[in-house]
Amino acid sequence: MTKQEIKQRIEKLKKEINHHRYLYHVLDKQEISDAALDSLKHELYTLEQKNPEFITKDSPTQRVGGKPLSKFKKVHHKVRMLSLEDVFSVGEFEDWETRIKKFYPSGKYEYFGELKIDGFAISLTYENGFLKTAATRGDGMVGEDVTQNIKTIESIPLKLNIHSETKINKNKNIKKYKSNVEKIIEKGTLEVRGEIYMSKKVFLEINKERKKRGEALYANPRNTAAGSVRQLDSKIAASRKLEFLAYSLVTDFGQKEHKDEHDILSVLGFKTDKDAGVFVSVKEIEKFWEDVMKKRDKLACQIDGLVISVNDNATFKKLGVVGKAPRGAVAFKFPAEEATTKVKDIVVRVGRTGALTPVAHLDTVSIGGTNVTRASLHNEDEIRRLGLKIGDTVLVQRAGDVIPKVIKVFKKLRTGNEKVFKMPKKCPICGGPIEKKDGGVVQKCINKKCSAKNKEALHHFTSKKAFDISGLGPKILDKLSDEGLISDVADIFSLEEGDLILVERFAERSASNLVEAIKDKKEITLGRFIYSLGILHIGEETSIDLAKYFTKKGKIESPMDFFNIAKKENVESLLKISDIGPKVAESIVSYFSDGHNASLLQKLDDVGIIIKSPKVSLQKQIFKDKIFILTGELKHFTRDEAKEKIRNLGGNVSSSVSKKTDFVLIGKNPGSKFKKAKNLGVKVISEIEFLKMLK
Ligand code: IVH
């Protein structure tokens, strides 16, 4: 860019940022996300740093916040409330260190690292030990007096005490400050700063209630917390279960290090960051950054990075302030939890309760380091509120274990080819009637059997004898289906790591393991595949018989190969297969003539299911075409192991004894099959005899 172009870019950025700041801080409105605004601010800051001649007094980088709202009393901060410069990568972080060391080479460079809570700053002033005022940051010089609301937060002490004499006496480092602290609690002013925030759990609970009542959902915990504190009615703030974490002690007790401030705060009864600590090098901080990023989703509150400060207060002071931020501290941010992508389709899911939930299928997008493919749209009203059409470019937010959601539509980026979405008039699963429930927002399929059937189908599909996806147990499947992330079995194969992390307590590691495990299970034998479809009356044995039969009819390598062969069958042709009676034959024919099943098989084909031939055993086929029946408890094998052995050696396992049966293998406490075998004169063998045969 030429100097002229840079100047123009700076002007445009300032105008844009100011517009959004005014909306947000003065009018309590928000048009674009914080992450989006942060990116703009970061670009402006970087351009200004490289071209200081273009820095003007009115630049957003030169001040903090907007005008305070008039509805609260104003509070003048005795010490200006500063902000922090952001860095977004290891490289930028290392540049920061190089810069400060160059600025003040004789400093002591050890760092204090702590979590950067995604809430909002508050300054608490105590007089003679009692909480006097709580003020928001406002423009850094003048904030709003929100004392009444802040007093409702239990993690904020209303009166200061030295909380545990033993602790302060044991901690040599802060013992030296004890008499000073005592004096100020007795008589004097003490100022503490920290972050007000709302835990993810409380935020989810509030939104769940709002959803039930058909009210618009809150966007994120931070805005909800800020909104709660800016309520004129302190009862509302009280009901919101807000929290406070202290991170700096403004009052001078002669503290030498930033660490001392944390220790003193904790002794005074404030909650401080348990993960915080002193790091001797930039390399150590980088490791801390990576470790915290990994466990970020599991933390109780949202964090957007780390705050790294020079630990030695004398050095910190020497480094001074540049613009709005101290040079000696920096916000080492994590990748944003928002990204833009396109909505490929809107699919309606039927959850376990029968509720119809529209879900956006997205062009896969990486958010905060993991891939996301779906986003919740909650209900039809939400789609209307967003003004969303299929094909739109949208902003998707993924925050911790909150399901990703579409939070904005970029209408100006439309091409004209976008399609309007309409909710179906009938249940997309069973074709049954739909009713509006819960105040008319949630639409439900009232056919109870429908959702239950769908749930069972999911459980059956992943079970041991079917696709055998062990990490995907019933609980997780239910949750995924409740959240609208999957509605049919094929959906399982297009899940991405970022979709799974949303399921409660799903750690990032196990999410990526599960995605891998699901991918590994895309290859399946035809017998298992048939069984997994859950066709009425088709159990494991029949599935294997059918697989053998169909394999002879043509090459089957995919679900559609199978479908094309199977749909040609009729009841008469199927009855020729041994062990298949009219009930089973009719069930198969009806399954393949149902359009829903045809599209499910097509979908399974599309997600890449491969049908492979069963492993051919190298052992001699000593049981070739022999039919076995198993009854009673076996000692040396599980039933499945015994069955596998028989099949590997060329035999078949059937479920009912007939004259065609060759062997009935009996264990302890055999059932009626044993009796029947004796009556029919079928050969009965014990487990020992079976073992001998195997040898
Ligand atoms: S220290 C000079 N420590 O991040 C400002 N800030 O842009 C010193 N924040 O306004 C702030 N967690 O609202 C500090 N552990 C932490 C923090 C933290 C969150 C917020 C705070 C501040 C903003 C910095």
Kindly state if the Cβ of 121 falls inside 6 Å of ligand 1: yes
Domain identity same for 100 and 180: yes
Kindly state if the Cβ of 326 falls inside 6 Å of ligand 1: yes
pLDDT digit string, tens, across residues 387-417: 999 999 898 987 654 578 898 898 888 889 9
Which pLDDT does position 158 carry in this prediction?
83
Kindly state if the Cβ of 143 falls inside 6 Å of ligand 1: no
Which pLDDT does position 609 carry in this prediction?
96
- Pick the atom of ligand 1 nearest to 248's CA: 1
User: Phi and psi at residue 653, in whole multiples of 5°?
Assistant: -115, 130
Q: How confident is the model at residue 333 (pLDDT cuts 50, 70, 90)?
A: very high
Give the C-alpha separation, 477 to 348, whole Å: 17
Mean pLDDT of all residues in 564-590: 90
Q: Among 37, 112, 116, 245, name the best residue to mutate to test ligand 1's pocket (greatest count of ligand atoms within 8 A of Cβ).
A: 116
Q: What is the 3-state secondary structure (H, E, C) of 573-628?
A: HHHCCCCCCHHHHHHHHHHHHCHHHHHHHHHHHHCCCEEECCCCCCCCCCCCCCEE
The HSE-up count of residue 222 (CA atoms within 13 Å, CB side) is 15
Give the C-alpha separation, 459 to 97, whole Å: 53
Which of 577, 612, 647 terminates a domain? The answer is: 612
Q: Among 115, 117, 304, name the best residue to mutate to test ligand 1's pocket (greatest count of ligand atoms within 8 A of Cβ).
A: 117
Residue type, 176: K
Give the C-alpha separation, 70 to 148, whole Å: 16
Burial of 232 (0-12, 13-18, 19+ CB in 10 A): exposed
Domain identity same for 532 and 514: no
Domain identity same for 123 and 264: yes
Residue type, 144: E
For residue 468, give both structure tokens. 């055998």
Q: How confident is the model at residue 202 (pLDDT cuts 50, 70, 90)?
A: very high
Give the C-alpha separation, 565 to 556, whole Å: 8
Domain identity same for 490 and 581: no
Domain identity same for 137 and 257: yes
CA 15 to ligand 1 center in whole angstroms: 25
Domain identity same for 173 and 296: yes
Could you tell me which residues are beta bridge partners of residue 405? 376, 397
pLDDT digit string, tens, across residues 119-143: 999 999 999 988 899 999 998 999 9
Domain identity same for 505 and 601: no
Q: Among 83, 115, 139, name the best residue to mutate to test ligand 1's pocket (greatest count of ligand atoms within 8 A of Cβ).
A: 83
Better-predicted residue by pLDDT, 289 or 637: 289
Domain identity same for 423 and 371: yes
Write out the DSSP string of 192-230. EEEEEE--HHHHHHHHHHHHHTTPPPPS-HHHHHHHHHT
Q: How confident is the model at residue 178 (pLDDT cuts 50, 70, 90)?
A: confident
418 pLDDT above the threshold of 70: yes
Which pLDDT does position 166 carry in this prediction?
42
CATH number of the domain encompassing residue 567? 1.10.150.20
Could you list the active site residues? 116
- Pick the atom of ligand 1 nearest to 115's CA: 15
Angle, helix 221-229 to helix 200-212, in steps of 10 degrees? 80
Kindly state if the Cβ of 117 falls inside 6 Å of ligand 1: yes
Q: How confident is the model at residue 63 (pLDDT cuts 50, 70, 90)?
A: very low
Give the C-alpha separation, 54 to 56, whole Å: 6
pLDDT digit string, tens, across residues 646-690: 888 888 888 888 888 999 999 888 888 888 888 888 999 998 899
Give the C-alpha separation, 528 to 586, whole Å: 20
Better-predicted residue by pLDDT, 195 or 541: 195
For residue 518, give both structure tokens. 């699901």
Q: Among 123, 195, 259, 327, name the best residue to mutate to test ligand 1's pocket (greatest count of ligand atoms within 8 A of Cβ).
A: 195
DSSP 336: P
Integer angstrom CA distances of residue 507 from 289, 396, 491, 497? 18, 21, 21, 10
CA 146 to ligand 1 center in whole angstroms: 19
Residues ≥6 apart with Cβ < 8 Å to 164? 267
- Pick the atom of ligand 1 nearest to 326's CA: 2
For residue 637, give both structure tokens. 């094998």
User: pLDDT > 70: what percent of the chain?
Assistant: 91
Degrees to nearest 5, angle at CA 222 with 219 and 223: 55
Could you tell me which residues are beta bridge partners of residue 134? 124
Structural domain count, the chain: 6
CA 390 to ligand 1 center in whole angstroms: 39
> Which stretches of 142-195 are DSSP H helices?
147-150, 165-170, 172-175, 178-186
Kindly state if the Cβ of 250 falls inside 6 Å of ligand 1: no
Give the C-alpha separation, 79 to 596, whole Å: 68
Better-predicted residue by pLDDT, 346 or 218: 346
Domain identity same for 243 and 329: yes
CA 121 to ligand 1 center in whole angstroms: 7
Instruction: State how far Cα 611 lies from the chain centre.
Output: 32
Domain identity same for 10 and 134: no
Residue type, 84: L
Kindly state if the Cβ of 247 falls inside 6 Å of ligand 1: yes
- Pick the atom of ligand 1 nearest to 120's CA: 13
Which of 463, 490, 521 terminates a domain? The answer is: 521
- Residue owning the nearest CA to atom 15 of ligand 1: 116
Note whether 137 and 64 are within 8 A (CB).
yes
Q: Is residue 79 a part of any domain in this protein?
A: no
175 pLDDT above the threshold of 90: no
Q: Is residue 78 a part of any domain in this protein?
A: no
pLDDT digit string, tens, across residues 41-58: 888 888 998 998 998 766
DSSP 60: G
- Pick the atom of ligand 1 nearest to 82's CA: 2
Note whether 160 and 269 are within 8 A (CB).
yes
Q: Which domain holds residue 38?
A: 3-62
- Could you give the 3-state DSSP secondary structure of residue 46? helix
Could you tell me which residues are beta bridge partners of residue 375? 360
Give the C-alpha separation, 16 to 59, whole Å: 11
CATH number of the domain encompassing residue 13? 1.10.287.610
CATH number of the domain encompassing residue 383? 2.40.50.140
Q: Is residue 574 a part of any domain in this protein?
A: yes
Q: How confident is the model at residue 618 (pLDDT cuts 50, 70, 90)?
A: low
CA 154 to ligand 1 center in whole angstroms: 21
- Pick the atom of ligand 1 nearest to 325's CA: 2
- Residue owning the nearest CA to atom 5 of ligand 1: 83
CA 643 to ligand 1 center in whole angstroms: 63
- Could you give the 3-state DSSP secondary structure of residue 19? helix
Give the C-alpha separation, 515 to 630, whole Å: 36
CA 135 to ligand 1 center in whole angstroms: 15
Domain identity same for 89 and 214: yes
Q: Is residue 444 a part of any domain in this protein?
A: no
Q: Is residue 372 a part of any domain in this protein?
A: yes
Which pLDDT does position 507 carry in this prediction?
60
Q: Is residue 68 a part of any domain in this protein?
A: no
Give the C-alpha separation, 43 to 27, whole Å: 25
- Could you give the 3-state DSSP secondary structure of residue 417? coil
Kindly state if the Cβ of 195 falls inside 6 Å of ligand 1: yes
For residue 151, give both structure tokens. 């007093």
| Reduced DSSP (H G I as helix, E B as strand, rest coil) percent helix, strand, coil of the chain, to 5 | 40, 20, 35
Angle, helix 282-295 to helix 90-103, in steps of 10 degrees? 150
Domain identity same for 323 and 378: no
- Of 71-85, 95-109, 201-215, 611-625, the range with the lowest mean pLDDT is 611-625
If one counts every other C-beta atom within 10 angstroms of the C-beta of residue 314, the result is: 12
Give the C-alpha separation, 482 to 357, whole Å: 9
User: Phi and psi at residue 96, in whole multiples of 5°?
Assistant: -60, -45
Which pLDDT does position 65 carry in this prediction?
31
Q: Which of 425, 461, 429 is nearest to 443 (CA)?
A: 425
- Pick the atom of ligand 1 nearest to 121's CA: 13
Q: How confident is the model at residue 66 (pLDDT cuts 50, 70, 90)?
A: very low
Kindly state if the Cβ of 332 falls inside 6 Å of ligand 1: no
Q: Tell how strand 321-322 and strand 652-653 pair up.
A: unpaired
Give the C-alpha separation, 529 to 562, whole Å: 10
Q: Is residue 440 a part of any domain in this protein?
A: no
Kindly state if the Cβ of 392 falls inside 6 Å of ligand 1: no
- Residue owning the nearest CA to atom 4 of ligand 1: 116
DSSP 489: G
Kindly state if the Cβ of 84 falls inside 6 Å of ligand 1: yes
Kindly state if the Cβ of 34 falls inside 6 Å of ligand 1: no
Give the C-alpha separation, 301 to 194, whole Å: 14
Kindly state if the Cβ of 466 falls inside 6 Å of ligand 1: no
Note whether 517 and 554 are within 8 A (CB).
no
Kindly state if the Cβ of 382 falls inside 6 Å of ligand 1: no
- Residue owning the nearest CA to atom 16 of ligand 1: 116
Which of 280, 305, 333 terminates a domain? The answer is: 333
Q: Is residue 287 a part of any domain in this protein?
A: yes
